[in-house]
Each structure stands twice: as structure tokens, then as C-alpha cells.
Amino acid sequence: MHSLDAFAAEKLAQLDAGHLRRRLTPSARTSPARIQRGDRTLVSFSCNDYLGLAQDPRVKAAAIAAIELYGVGAGASRLITGDHPLLGQLEARLAAFKGTEAALVFGSGYLANIGVIPALVGSGDLVLMDELAHACMVSGARLSGARVLTFAHNDMDQLAERLAAARNHGARALILTERVFSMDGDQAPLPALLAIAQAHDAWTLVDDAHGLGVVTPDAKAPLELGTLSKALGGMGGYLCASTPVIELLKSRARSFVYATGLPPASAAAALAALDILDAEPERSRRPVALARRFTTALGLGPAMSAIVPIHVGEATRALALSAALAEKGLLVVAIRPPTVPKGTARLRVAFSAAHDEGDVDALVHAMRDVGAIGAPSLDVAE
């Protein structure tokens, strides 16, 4: 066997042994809260389309109209010929929405993180990140060449201690956190975090991927990063910040400079989605209200966002419970290491404005039936 294939085969065997191999499952979203897998239609609690806008006729019409006029792709990077006027309109809109001077749109939230972080800090500087911050912030931090330290999840005392102890004289320090944590559904204590940052002249980047359009912000960070792919239903990423920061990134964020611009249709879709957010505030309240209906019914702590994790321990148990729920027509994908720390595999339940109360109640009953809440009742091989 070629050494390359032998390497891949050995790695796959290790993943199989740890029940950590990932496999694709073809899935077609037929309506906002339903998903087609093979010949089965499941109620999906595993999409991040929190407001049901990916299928909204107004959002689709905006994207289709832009495709008819401008085609499917940007054709080049923004700095060459890919700077379609719709992108500038979207940036002005995002900046106004977030209350910042300016904004910059990227190809995705992942690309935004790995572009922004290394453009702001580098060798000799310090990055301090919440231990549960998303993988793309880890990637951005590593790419920067700065010293990267974590602090215990939401532990502001540890953040302050490490910031004081670890920073080189005169070096820059960047704090990374999420407004709503993607796998836990809880929120960062932003007012306290920003006060610590200010006291140490450290900069703060908040990833709002799972907050925008769903939770009301309790504070604004100087670097508000996010994605167009969750509550806004489409594709793309953004950073909202001051004018000098955004101008610097246009020259220095490598994932912006050297990547094809976002397609005009994605900008048109995001603009239409933002119109809906403004016009229908009740839509934004629905995911958390449904999540709370679920947590109340199961006696769990009140949901803080659209995301509710059900911790089940080992990966095998999460997979078995997910399969048992699918048997009942409900899709709740098992989340396993390395996406989450070892021993904390979970069912990650994501609620959408597109669910109805009946969907939530069906999930409550099914969670009890399969033994996902309380004592395990499944025969699970560990």
C-alpha cells in the first residue's frame, strides 16, 4: 500500500476504535423544520436555521433575483473585481445593526475568524480564549503565531489573573469568546469580560454566530464577528468594528484578500433576512421561548439561547440515543469529541422559530422514552 494510503487507513482505524469516525449522511431540507434522509422525513432539531429563514420565500426571491441579474459567483476576490455593490450595502446594514462604524464581509464565519485574528496579533503577543471557544477561533489563534492560553469556561477571575501574569511588556493581548456557546447554549458574561479587557487594555473579539437574531446582546465588543449562515439562513461571515480596524483588515486579513468574494446572491439573501429581523421581532423571540418550553418540561435549567445540550457522557451513548430518537422521527445529532471535550458527548438540541409547540412536546416525550434524561434505559455497549 502507498504510504499515504497506509497513513490514512491507520488513522481511520484509530477513529473507528474510539467511535469517533465521522460519516456523511445525505440530507435534504424540505421545509424549515423538516429534513429528508433516505426515504424518511424527520423533524430536525439539528439545524442552525434558528429563524427558519433559509426557506423563507422573501429570502429565496432576493437570492434568485440576484442570480438572474449577476450570476452565481463573484468571479474574483473583493480587491480585484469581486466587490459587488450588494456587498457594500450588506456591510453598511450589518454595521448599523450592530452599532459599529463599519463592517467587512467574508466567505464564511470560519474564514472571518482565521482572517481577523492573525491580522491583529502575532509573535510575542497573547491570545486568551475561553476553553470552549469554537474550533475556528482556535485555528485563527494558532495561525497568528501569538502565545495562546485558555481560561476556564466563563471564569472571569482566571481570565484577569492570566491576563496580568502572561502578557509580555508592551505586547498586544486579544481575548476570544462567544456570545452564545455553540455546543453549550450558555452565554459569556460580556459586561464583566469587557471591564477586565478595558482594565488591561486588551482587545475583545466576540463570535456572535449563535446569538445574532436570537438573543438580546447585553454588551458590545470592539470586534463583533459572526456568520450569515445561522439565524440569517444563508452563507457568509462578517466582522463589525471601527473604521480603522475594518480598513486594516481589507489589506491584512489573508482569508479576505486571497479568497473569492461572497456571491452577490448571498449578500442579497442576507439583506432580505435582515429586513425580516427588523420587521418581525416576534420571530426572534420564538427559538428561546420554544427552548424554554423544552427545558421547563424536562426540569432542566432555563434555556439561555436556542441551543440546549443534553449531556450523556460517552460517544457511544450519544450515538445510540440519537439513533433511538431518529426511530421516532426526530433528528438530534450526537456531538462527540473532539468537537466537545472527552467524556462530554451530548445531544445538542437546536430550536427554530419554524418549530411548532407540537414538535417540542414530541421531543420532550421522546427524550423521556429513550432515557436521554435521568437514568439511562438503553442497552448501550461502551
Q: Which of 177, 227, 284, 352 binds ligand PLP (CB under 6 A)?
A: 227
110 binds ligand PLP (CB under 6 A): yes
Find the shortest distance in angstroms from Cβ 136 to ligand PLP.
5
305 binds ligand PLP (CB under 6 A): no
User: Binding segment for ligand PLP among 22-30, 84-92, 105-113, 156-164 (CB under 6 A)?
Assistant: 105-113
Task: State the Cα–Cα distance between residues 307 and 181, nearest whole angstrom.
Answer: 9
Closer residue to ligand PLP (CB): 132 or 276 = 132
User: Binding segment for ligand PLP among 11-19, 106-114, 166-174, 290-298 (CB under 6 A)?
Assistant: 106-114
Out of 91, 125, 207, 224, which one is annotated catalytic? Answer: 207
Side-chain half-sphere of 161: how many Cα atoms within 13 Å?
Answer: 7
CA 282 to mean position of chain CA atoms: 22
Closer residue to ligand PLP (CB): 347 or 366 = 347
Q: Which of 90, 136, 212, 307 binds ligand PLP (CB under 6 A)?
A: 136
218 flagged as catalytic: no
Out of 19, 84, 134, 355, which one is annotated catalytic? Answer: 134
186 binds ligand PLP (CB under 6 A): no
Residues numbered 326-345 forming contacts with ligand PLP, rule: CB under 6 A: none
Residue of closest CB approach to ligand PLP = 109
140 binds ligand PLP (CB under 6 A): no
Residues numbered 237-276 forming contacts with ligand PLP, rule: CB under 6 A: 237
Task: State the Cα–Cα distance between residues 308 and 186, nearest whole angstrom.
Answer: 9
User: Binding segment for ligand PLP among 37-45, 71-79, 107-115, 372-380 (CB under 6 A)?
Assistant: 107-115
User: Binding segment for ligand PLP among 84-92, 103-111, 138-146, 302-310 (CB under 6 A)?
Assistant: 103-111
314 flagged as catalytic: no
130 binds ligand PLP (CB under 6 A): no
Find the shortest distance in angstroms from Cβ 305 to ligand PLP.
12
Active site residues: 48, 134, 178, 182, 207, 210, 230
**What does the binding site for ligand PLP look like in residue numbers (CB under 6 A)?**
108-110, 134, 136, 178, 182, 207, 209, 227, 229, 237
